[in-house]
Amino acid sequence: MALSVGDKIPSVDLFEMTADGPSSVSSGEYFAGRKIVLFALPGAFTPTCSAQHLPGYVNNAQDIKAKGVDEIACLTVNDVFVVAAWAKDQGVGDKVRMLADPDGAFTRAADMVFDLSARGLGKRSQRYAIVVEDGVITAVNAEGGGGLTISSAESILEIL
């Protein structure tokens, strides 16, 4: 079943790039005891993701964190090297924590798979944003199609 308010966040290993190379991040541990906005998108370097979705969170990071959010995280079904290159290209810095879901384990556990095989992209994540407090989902804004509306940074600011 897709992510819903009241669900516990799936516990799987995600990955991020560190100064020492790729490092695993347990989603169960990462979300424990904190308020986090996680937004997921179909892929690094894709048009809407690069032109609007990620930049919206980078540009609004300070305002989102001012609403009591401990951290903003971006999740994408890409390998950690692609995610790191995309973060650098987008000038993310420390405003958004960039998490790779390379084999889609989190995305499958969350039942948020978006099959873009017909467009040459394979199975990716649906576009969505969630608010998670101490490992429990308190808000879900999942897009019904390929557009960017309710999962944008501006939409999340309205519900915080």
What is the tens place of the pLDDT at every residue in 55-91? Answer: 999 999 999 999 999 999 999 999 999 999 999 999 9
Q: For domain 13-159, give its CATH number from 3.30.1950.10, 3.40.50.1820, 3.40.30.10, 3.10.20.740.
A: 3.40.30.10
Contact partners, residue 155, CB within 8 Å, separation at least 6: 129, 141, 149
The larger pLDDT score, comparing residue 114 to residue 101, is at 101
What is the radius of gyration, based on Cα positions, of the chain?
Answer: 14
Given a contact cutoff of 8 angstroms between Cβ atoms, the answer to whether 40 and 126 are in contact is: yes
**pLDDT tier for residue 121 given thresholds of 50, 70 and 90:** low
Each residue's pLDDT tens digit, 34-62: 999 999 998 888 888 899 999 999 999 99
Domain ranges in the chain are 13-159
The catalytically annotated residue of 17, 36, 37, 49 is: 49
Closest CA to 105 of 27, 29, 36, 46: 27
74 classed as catalytic:
no
